[in-house]
Amino acid sequence: MKSEKGFTLLELMTTLGIAAILLSVAVPGLQSFVMNSRQSSAVNQMVSSIHLARNTAVTRNSAVTVCASDDGATCTNAAWSSGWLPFADADRDQMVDAGEEVLSVSSEVESLNIASAQFPAAISYAGNGRVIAPIANGVAGSFAFCDRRGTAKAKVVNIELTGRPTLSANAVANCG
């Protein structure tokens, strides 16, 4: 009689049990990794757009604005997480008008709330690279990047008086 090679039911069930335990430990860590990655990506996109706007304002010695936009072509009364675009704002009205160049477009950021009390819809730079905004507490304003984990895991980008964005290590986020 020839013996068959393979796994017994007991061996198969043991292997599946161990795999289930390993997955139950790994999945929450993976979710946290994905959320951190998504948040860092959004911060990097925003900081990149702010640097582009500031550098363009200095290079051209004219106003440049970054505004919230859900259509990628005009400034809309949308949330920052819907997307944004930096553009040359010759008339300083914080609206994309005919003849004003859109410098880049950032699309919607999923599962993230981006909020700013000081810059609810737009941030503008003068030709000297400084932010055109009311100033409070030594900074021109800030952007909070929040997800479902709340303020404890939020990231905050401060816009300094000089217009330079910096990641805050200890700022309290307003995820409102």
Which one-letter amino acid corresponds to residue 126? A
Residue-level pLDDT at 19: 85
Residue-level pLDDT at 23: 78
Residue-level pLDDT at 156: 93
End-to-end Cα distance, the chain: 74
Residue-level pLDDT at 169: 66
Containing H/E element for 68? strand 64-68
> Nearest to residue 140, comparing CAs of 122, 118, 156?
118
- What are the structural domains of the chain? 11-60+109-168 (3.55.40.10)
Q: Scanning the structure block, which residue is given the tokens 């009364």?
A: 77
103 neighbors 53 (Cβ within 8 angstroms): yes
132 neighbors 126 (Cβ within 8 angstroms): yes
87 neighbors 100 (Cβ within 8 angstroms): yes
131 neighbors 116 (Cβ within 8 angstroms): no
For the chain (length 176 residues), average pLDDT per consecutive 10? 76 86 77 88 95 96 95 91 95 92 92 90 93 69 90 89 84 66
- Hey, which residues does 66 pair with through a beta bridge? 86, 123
